Chain A
Amino acid sequence: MKPFTYERVSTPAEAAAAVVRTPDARFIAGGTNLLDLMKLQIETPAHLVDVNGLALDRIEDTPDGGVRVGALVRNTDLAAHPRIRRDYGVLSRALVAGASGQLRNKATTAGNLLQRTRCPYFYDTNQPCNKRRPGSGCGAIGGFSRPLAVIGGSGACIATHPSDMAVAMRLLDATVETVDAAGRRRAIPIADFHRLPGTTPHIETALAPGELITAVTLPRPIGGAHIYRKVRDRASYAFALVSVAAVIQRDGSGHVALGGVAPRPWRIEAAEAALPRGAAPVAARLMEGAAPTADNRFKLPLVERTLAAVIAQARAA
Chain B
Amino acid sequence: MDDLSPLSISRRGVLIGTVAATAIGAGPWAETKATSRRAQPTLMKVRLTVNGERRDLELDTRTTLLDALREHLRLTGTKKGCDHGQCGACTVIVDGRRINSCLTLAVMHEGAGITTIEGLGTPDRLHPMQAAFVKHDGYQCGYCTPGQICSAVAVLDEISTGIPSHVTPDLSMPPQPTNAEMRERMSGNICRCGAYSNIAEAMAEVAGAGA
A contact residues vs B (CB 8 Å cutoff)? 1-6, 8, 23-24, 28, 31-32, 35-36, 39, 46, 48, 50, 52, 76, 79-80, 85-86, 89, 92-93, 96-97, 99-103, 105-106, 234-237
Contacts and interface: CB of A to CB of B under 8 A. Distances in A.
Contacts of A92: 164, 171
A96 B42 contact: no
B97 A32 contact: no
Given A6-B107, A8-B110, A31-B108, 15 more contacts: A5-B61, A28-B108, A32-B85, A36-B85, A48-B105, A50-B107, A80-B162, A96-B164, A100-B189, A101-B165, A101-B186, A101-B187, A236-B187, A237-B187, A237-B188
B163 interface: yes
Contacts of B188: 99-103, 237
Given A4-B62, A97-B166, A46 B103 contact: no
Instruction: Name the residue among B41, B61, B97, B103 with the largest chain A CB count within 10 angstroms.
Output: B103
B98 interface: yes
B104 interface: yes
B38 interface: yes
Nearest to A98: B166
A28 B104 CA distance: 10
A5 B37 CA distance: 9
B108 A1 contact: no
Contacts, number: 120
A54 to B, nearest CB: 13
11 contacts: A3-B38, A3-B60, A6-B42, A6-B44, A31-B105, A86-B171, A93-B166, A96-B165, A103-B85, A106-B100, A235-B187
B129 interface: no
B200 interface: no
Interface of A is mostly: mixed
B62 A3 contact: yes
Contacts of A8: 110
Instruction: Name the residue among A2, A6, A89, A105 with the largest chain B CB count within 10 angstroms.
Output: A105
Nearest to B42: A5
Interface residues of B, number: 47
B62 A1 contact: yes
A235 B196 CA distance: 15
Contact of B98 (A79, A99, A102, A237): A102
Given A32-B85, A85-B164, A102 B62 contact: no
A3 B39 contact: yes
B34 A23 contact: yes
A102 B171 contact: no
B103 A32 contact: yes
A43 to B, nearest CB: 13
B88 interface: yes
Contacts of A80: 161-164
A99 to B, nearest CB: 8
Which are the 3 A-B pairs with shortest beta-carbon distances?
A100-B188, A236-B187, A237-B187
Contacts of A36: 84-85, 103
B103 A86 contact: no
A31 B103 contact: yes
Contacts of A24: 34
Given A4-B61, A23-B34, A31-B104, A96 B99 contact: no
Contacts of B44: 6
Contacts of B171: 85-86, 89, 92-93
